[in-house]
Amino acid sequence: MNKITIIGSGNIGLSLAKGLVNKAYCKAEDITLTRRSLKSLSEEAAKGFKVSDNNKVAIYDANVIVLAVLPQQLKKVLDEIAPAVSPEKQIVVSVVSGVTCADVREKLGNNVQVIRAMPNTAIAIGQSMTCVASDNASDEQVDRVTRMFETVGAVVTINEDLMTSATALCACGIAFFLRAIRAASQGGVEIGFHAHDALKMAVQTAKGAADLLLQTQSHPEGEIDKVTSPKGCTIAGLNEMEHNGFSSAFIKGIKLSARKAGGLYND
Ligand SMILES: NC(=O)c1ccc[n+]([C@@H]2O[C@H](COP(=O)([O-])OP(=O)(O)OC[C@H]3O[C@@H](n4cnc5c(N)ncnc54)[C@H](OP(=O)(O)O)[C@@H]3O)[C@@H](O)[C@H]2O)c1
């Protein structure tokens, strides 16, 4: 039986909770949501979720404790729940960027099984790319957490030392692709479309490109070759973007985000 307590029910915590219920992974009454401001959870309470502003009490019945507060809020939460965590019956799942499993255990005790998960905001529509890692949890518990996040998107299990890289590529990555779509729509306006049409066209074109790769399992360059005829307009546009640093800017941005993601907890 899954009893889940989500500590920090903001963007990610709430999206996870709603996704799990929508996909029938568990019932709303099996999930306890916490926040300091309880009135912000009145809508969720009305939908059947248990809500609490007392983290220590809220984890009492849980098999799975999800930590979803901001990195700078985590130390206080860990100090609060440490005396109440029961390692024999509970696992701890942290989605907090930049915090290692060892950081969490340092506060909760060495015998607690800790699994890190790095989802992105597409979790709200069941389309997250979630990376999962642990340095001490059993395969059974990692499988369990993988199944939980598979109900709200795709999951890749990685080594924990790649977690900050996963944060940059997948969690921050949502913003990078969104900005690329906005840029495309701005280009569309310059060449004659009204803003709302240009945005709709850019969004569907981006979705089509992603679905092409997902459904055909092909490589981006293979698909690009199909649209770049010799002396054609696509290769001209593409090369102009590259001369202006398109791929280079993307790669450099991802590398900088990864460096920043590593320092969020302790800086
Ligand atoms: N957003 C993303 O794209 C993304 C992706 C992957 C991972 N993450 C990670 O997920 C975590 C949450 O991000 P978010 O975007 O969901 O942030 P958020 O919307 O600010 O949510 C954090 C929540 O924690 C609650 N909170 C703060 N202190 C608390 C406490 N002591 N006890 C209980 N609840 C508390 C806050 O509500 P109150 O102020 O009412 O307490 C707030 O609702 C972060 O660590 C982030 O690094 C985020």
Helix, strand, or coil (residue 267)? coil
Amino acid at 63: N
The rounded distance, in Å, linking the Cα atoms of 133 and 110 is: 17
177 shares its domain with 131: no
Residue 199 structural domain? 167-262
The two structure tokens encoding residue 51: 């809500």
With the most atoms of ligand 1 within 8 angstroms of its CB, the residue from 5, 6, 11, 16 to mutate is: 11
CA of 33 to the centre of ligand 1 (A): 12
pLDDT above 60 for 267: no
Global pTM?
0.92
The rounded distance, in Å, linking the Cα atoms of 148 and 125 is: 15
Q: Model confidence over 81-112: pLDDT tens digits?
A: 999 999 999 999 999 988 999 999 999 999 99
What is the structure's pLDDT at 262?
75
Amino acid at 61: D
Number of domains making up the chain: 2
Question: Ligand 1: which atom is nearest the Cα of residue 38?
Answer: 40
Alpha helices in the chain (DSSP H): 11-22, 42-46, 55-58, 71-81, 101-108, 139-150, 163-166, 173-190, 195-216, 220-227, 233-243, 246-261
Q: 261 versus 130: which is more confidently predicted? A: 130
Which residues fall within 8 angstroms of residue 44, CB to CB, at 6 or more apart? 9, 14, 17, 28, 33, 51
Residue of minimum CA distance from atom 42 in ligand 1? 10
The arithmetic mean of pLDDT across residues 124-147, rounded, is: 95
Query: What is the chain's percent helix, strand, coil content, to nearest 5?
Result: 60, 15, 30
CA of 212 to the centre of ligand 1 (A): 34
Question: Ligand 1: which atom is nearest the Cα of residue 77?
Answer: 31
214 shares its domain with 126: no
113-118 and 50-52 as β-strands: parallel, antiparallel, unpaired? unpaired
What is the structure's pLDDT at 98?
86
23 shares its domain with 140: yes
Closest CA to 67 of 2, 12, 138, 140: 12
What is the structure's pLDDT at 264?
63
CATH of the domain at 183: 1.10.3730.10
Question: Ligand 1: which atom is nearest the Cα of residue 36?
Answer: 41
Q: Model confidence over 191-241: pLDDT tens digits?
A: 999 999 999 999 999 999 999 999 999 999 999 999 999 999 999 999 999
pLDDT band at 3 (very low <50, low <70, confident <90, very high): very high
11 shares its domain with 129: yes
CA of 8 to the centre of ligand 1 (A): 5
Q: Model confidence over 39-61: pLDDT tens digits?
A: 999 999 999 999 999 999 999 99
| Domain presence at residue 267 | no
Report the pocket of ligand 1 as residue ranges, CB < 6 Å. Answer: 7-13, 34-37, 40, 55, 68-71, 73, 76-77, 95-97, 118-121, 171
